[in-house]
Structure formats: structure tokens, C-alpha cells
Chain A
Amino acid sequence: MTGAGLAIPFGRDGGSRFLPALTMLMVFLAGLALAAVMDLEHALATWDRSLTGALTVELPAATGAGDKSLDAALAVLHAAPGIKSATPIDRATTAKLVEPWLGTSLSPADLELPRLIDVHLDSGARPDLAGLRAQLARAAPGAVLDDHQLWLDSLARFARSAELTALAVLVLIGGVAVLSVSFATRTGLAVHHDVIELLHLMGARDGYVARQFERPALRLALIGGAAGLALAAAALLALQHATGAAAFLGDTVTLLPALHLRGWNWAVLAALPFAAGIVAMATARLTVLATLRRLP
């Protein structure tokens, strides 16, 4: 005796047997896309925090020993409200900054390097940048004040585009999940048509028949989802390790920041199989109910 076993063996027919494998793939892809979204969101916030409190003043290369433009620019900066510090960057450090592009064969003495001043703002300060630019231009002709906004804006645009792409991938995966479960359920309805009609004629309500499909759909999606989550976690941990290892080797020039998922990010990822299960269950139920409504 099978106790209250399901009358319809949905999940064991050809149409639904592939559901766990499909769910595994979809949860794996959704996991990667979701991790990308969460990491980009974190990176954006970090970039914003680290750059909004800093400015750089760039002065043309010194014209001679009597060039006082650096002192004049520092005087303007120290006098301006909201400026916490203004520190000139020495020639050796400036030369080091351009070394990745020019190599080490050239001596800094051979180069006409601009002089840089690293400026830090007081916390929460919003200095009048237009006024500061005008004062600097008067005190040190040729001085350029860079608030990094242009770079930050383009970086933010890139990150937002990547984020939107990842979200679109997530929506697409959700759509594919709904279509796949709906297709499998329809196939199941066709394969088990005789049993469904039998239950219907015994006086089974539509909800009873729908439960015969939604429970296996939930079980299959949870099994596939758990496997997909395990694969996604392994891939993300490998990626996290790879980006961490690159930083350890001193490879400081990277296109994207190191992948760093926090505790709550993993918790969100762990919810993916359950989300897949709920989508599968709801899709199966709605598909069955829509089909049964055609019976008298």
C-alpha cells in the first residue's frame, strides 16, 4: 500500500524528467547573475565612498627654480573652507604612477611630469568647486582641479549597465523557468489525461488534481535548485579565490574589483532553490487549473 500516494506519477514521465536538470542550470545561471548584481552594487558604493572625499590638483611641469605656482596653489587650498589636507605628491611617486605605461627605461629627470597635489576634504564637506577652480587659475595659471566625477560617472554608468544586464538575465531565466515548467506540466497533462479524467469523474475538485502536479514540481525544482546552488557556490568561491590571488601577487591594475560576497549575499543566493520551487509549484498549479477549466 502506498498510503496517500499521488495518483498521477508526474515527474516520472518523459516530459517532466528533465525538470531537475533544467532547474539546476537555471539556478546556477541565476546565482551567477545575482552575485554579479550584488557585487556591482557593493563596488559602486565603495567607489563612491572612496572618491567623493578626494580631489587632485594638477599643475604644469615646473618652468624653473623660481616657479612659485605650487606654493600659490597650496596657499589657495589651505585657505579654502572644507579642505582637510592638501599634500603635494613628490616627483618619484608621480613617476611611479606612469611607470606601467612608460616602463622603467626612462629617468624621471628626463620627463616633464606635471606636479600633483592630493587633496582630502572634511567629512561631508561640499566645497564650491567652481570658485576654487577660478582661484587656482588666478594663483597658478594652467592648474587643473580634478574631482574624479567624470571618471566616477563613466564607471558608474558601466556598472549600472552591467547590473541591468545581469537583472535582465535574471528575468529571462525566470521566464524560461515558467515556460519550462508550463511545458512539462502540459506534457504531463497530456500523458496522464486518462487518470486526470478518472479523478475528475470521481468528483475530484480542480485543486485536488492541481496538487498532484504542484507537489512533484516543487520537489523536482528543489532537488535541481539545490544542485544548481552548489555549482554556483563552487564557481563563485573559485572566482573569489582567483581575484584574491591576483591581488596577493601584487597585480594592482585590474579591470574590475575583486569579487567579495558578504554573508547576506550568500543568504540571498541560498534562497534561490526555494524561489525556483515556488515558481515551479505556482506555474504547475496555474497550468493545470487553466487546462481543467476546459473539462465539463
Chain B
Amino acid sequence: MRLPRCGGATFTRAAGACHLAAMVRFENVGMRYGTGPEVLRDITLRLEAGSFHFLTGPSGAGKTSLLRLISLAERPSRGLVSLFGEDLSRVTRAALAPLRRRIGIVFQDFRLIPHLSAFDNVALPLRVAGVAEAKLRDNVREMLEWVGLADKLDAKPPTLSGGQQQRVAIARAVVAHPKLLVADEPTGNVDDAMAQRLMRLFEELNKLGTTLIIATHNAALARQFGRPVLHLENGELGAAAAARAAS
């Protein structure tokens, strides 16, 4: 029997209805690089499916490290991390690859491959997932049209402006229709007008059911869009950081 479609939410047979389940769950998570000090301490958070959060905090607060944990680029040194309902401590290394395909990432430095065209950069996640060339063409063109770069299919990244490169990076992050989109300072390298345009793209995506978490140092931008904000300070999140400061 096919389960009903629930958009970005999860259908549970017991409840017989769609409901918002935790897409990302952290409990008392700590993280360190190698034998260095902890860069994240006692992080507890819950991102519901279909939610849209901003992650703010000063430089060095640990925003990128937290996003790397969420995007499965790192493993926690302690605590529980659960993604798509899977406790990551029980997931084998080989089983992480299919989970990663459900996550789209927008990097602060774009990470476009300079010798590949805009088309091929955007097509990369589909090729990695083994989608046939004939099937991916229309999808990739549609994505580049959506970000306003239909006329730049063959352009190599070095020939594009910063804003155009960022839009190619966003198209690449969403082309495989990820359930979760992680963006690290996506508006950090573009002017205000472009930042507003990119944010509207993210809102469109969220309306389509994608869960979003966007790291930004631009508190005004976060306030303008009126979405929940997670604030990191010295590797600690929100209330924990405030409690430590008060004691």
C-alpha cells in the first residue's frame, strides 16, 4: 500500500496523518577537530521537517562546524545526532552516502568546479546519484532557469560574477530535490539586492517542503524574514550560552 504524500512532513501509520517530525535532532552534542578543544559544546536542537531556521553568531562561534555536522561532513565527538529519523551512531559509513544525497549544501565559497560548465556543475549531484544523462538535462536546465541563468549553461565559473556563481551553487544544491538544505553564509559575497533575491529563492524552496537552515552573520536579514533564529556563541547554542554567561 502506498503511503499518502505529505510534502516535507512525515506520515505515520499509527496516527494515520501527516505530522511534522524532527528532520534534525541533536542532544548534548560536542565536537572537536582531532585532539583540539571542543568547538561545539552541549548542542541540543530540533529542526522539524519543513521548517526554516537562521543560524547566527559571530565569526568563530562554530556556525560552520554545526553546519558540517548537519551535512554529515563531520562526526560528533559526543552526544546524539539524528537525521531523517536515523541515529547516526548506528549508521554505517556506506549507508551515509544515500543520506547525504538527501541533503543540499550551499557553501560560503561556492565550491564550483572551475573546469566544468555551469550546466555540468549543476548536473553533478544527479550524476553522482546515477541519473541517466537523458533524464537530467531538462532538470538541470529548469534549475538554471529558476535561478535566472538560462543563458549561462555553458559558462565556466571563472567567467561568472560572484552573484551568478552563488546562484549556480544554489541550483546545484537543490537540483536533486533535497529534503534538507544547509547554506553557509549564502549572501556573504553578494550585494543587498542579490541577497534579497537569493533569500526569496530559499523561501520558494521552503514552500515546496524543503527544510532549510541558513547560517548568516547578517542579523538584520534574519530579522527581516521573520524566521526562527538559532544563535551560537563560543560553540554553545542560545539558552546554554546565556546561562553560562550569567553564572
Task: Point out residues on A near B: beta carbons under 8 Å.
Answer: 1-5, 7, 9, 194-195, 197-205, 208, 293, 296
Contact = CB atoms under 8 A, between A and B. Distances in A.
Which range contains the number of B residues in contact with the other chain? 20 to 34
Contacts of B116: 2, 5, 7
Contacts of B127: 4
Contact of B72 (A4, A204, A205, A296): A296
B129 A201 contact: no
B93 A296 contact: yes
Interface string B123-146: 011011100010000000000000
B111 interface: yes
B208 interface: no
Please give me the 7 A-B residue pairs with the lowest Cβ-Cβ distance, nearest first. Answer: A203-B101, A203-B100, A204-B128, A296-B75, A202-B128, A203-B97, A202-B125
A7 B125 contact: no
A195 B75 CA distance: 20
A203 B83 CA distance: 15
A269 B100 CA distance: 47
Contacts of B125: 202-203
Given A4-B133, A201-B100, A203-B98, 11 more contacts: A9-B115, A198-B124, A200-B100, A201-B71, A201-B72, A201-B103, A201-B105, A203-B99, A203-B129, A205-B94, A296-B93
A192 to B, nearest CB: 9
Nearest to A194: B111
B75 to A, nearest CB: 5
A203 B128 contact: yes
Given A1-B119, A1-B154, A7-B124, A204 B97 contact: yes
A208 B94 CA distance: 13
A199 B125 CA distance: 8
B120 interface: yes
B61 interface: no
Contacts, number: 59
Kindly name the residue among A9, A197, A203 whose own CB sees the greatest number of chain B CB atoms within 10 A.
A203
Interface string B72-106: 11110000000000000000011011111111010
Nearest to B115: A9
A296 B73 contact: yes
Contacts of A198: 111, 113, 124
B117 interface: yes
A198 B106 CA distance: 11
B153 interface: yes
Contacts of A203: 97-103, 125, 128-129
B97 A5 contact: no
Contact of B128 (A2, A3, A199, A293): A199
Contacts of B129: 203
Contacts of B105: 201
A208 B131 CA distance: 13
Given A4-B127, A296-B93, A195 B113 contact: yes
A97 B72 CA distance: 85
Contacts of A1: 117, 119-120, 153-154
Interface string B53-75: 00000000000000000011111
Contacts of A201: 71-73, 100, 103, 105
Contacts of A296: 72-75, 93, 96
A213 to B, nearest CB: 15
25 contacts: A1-B117, A1-B120, A1-B154, A2-B117, A4-B133, A7-B116, A195-B113, A198-B113, A198-B124, A199-B128, A200-B100, A201-B72, A201-B73, A202-B128, A203-B97, A203-B98, A203-B100, A203-B102, A203-B103, A203-B125, A203-B129, A204-B97, A205-B97, A296-B72, A296-B96
Nearest to A292: B93
Contacts of A9: 115
A296 B71 CA distance: 11
A202 B133 CA distance: 17
B246 to A, nearest CB: 35
Contacts of A2: 116-117, 120
Contact of B101 (A195, A197, A202, A293): A202
A24 B92 CA distance: 42
B94 to A, nearest CB: 8
A195 B110 CA distance: 11
A203 B98 CA distance: 6
Contacts of A204: 97, 128
A208 B120 CA distance: 16
A192 B80 CA distance: 32
